[in-house]
Amino acid sequence: MVCASGFEELKVLRFWNLEKLEELDVIEGAMPKLQEFEVRSCIKLKVPTGLEHLKDIRIIKLRTMLKEFGKETQSLVDKSRVDKKMQLVFVECDEMITNQGSQPSQKAGGIIGDGVAVLVN
């Protein structure tokens, strides 16, 4: 997935349970007002490239992700972060938590309300 243009007013972006999502590239200027970015249970996702282009980012939240993903993201954020107000939040990242024996619910993704997008499987 490449975010190139069209998200000028987006403030919150969440990727939830996108089991097939492997790559995410953020292009400079694509989401100039993004303040919060959350990734939850996207087990194949590699660390997104271009996070340094998110100039207004305040919170990057990682939930139920592999520990290695968290470490790589922390390293990338430390290298590119200019604004020390930005937070990197880890929730349940010690190990990947899976739904053993049950199927995750199927939900539609889309734009919700005032500058918030949630993409879920």
Task: Please write the tens of the pLDDT for every residue from 3-62.
Answer: 555 688 999 999 999 989 999 888 888 888 999 988 888 888 888 888 888 888 888 887
Find the helix or strand (DSSP H, E) in which 74 lies.
Answer: helix 67-80
Residue 63: predicted pLDDT:
81
0.75 exceeded by pTM = no
30 neighbors 2 (Cβ within 8 angstroms): no
Residue 93: predicted pLDDT:
55
Task: Please write the tens of the pLDDT for every residue from 53-98.
Answer: 888 888 888 787 777 777 777 776 666 655 556 666 666 555 443 3
Residue 105 Cα distances to 10, 23, 44, 98, 99, angstroms: 26, 23, 19, 13, 11
114 neighbors 10 (Cβ within 8 angstroms): no
Query: Around Cβ 66, how many Cβ atoms within 10 Å?
Result: 17
Show me where the domains of the chain are located.
2-96+115-120
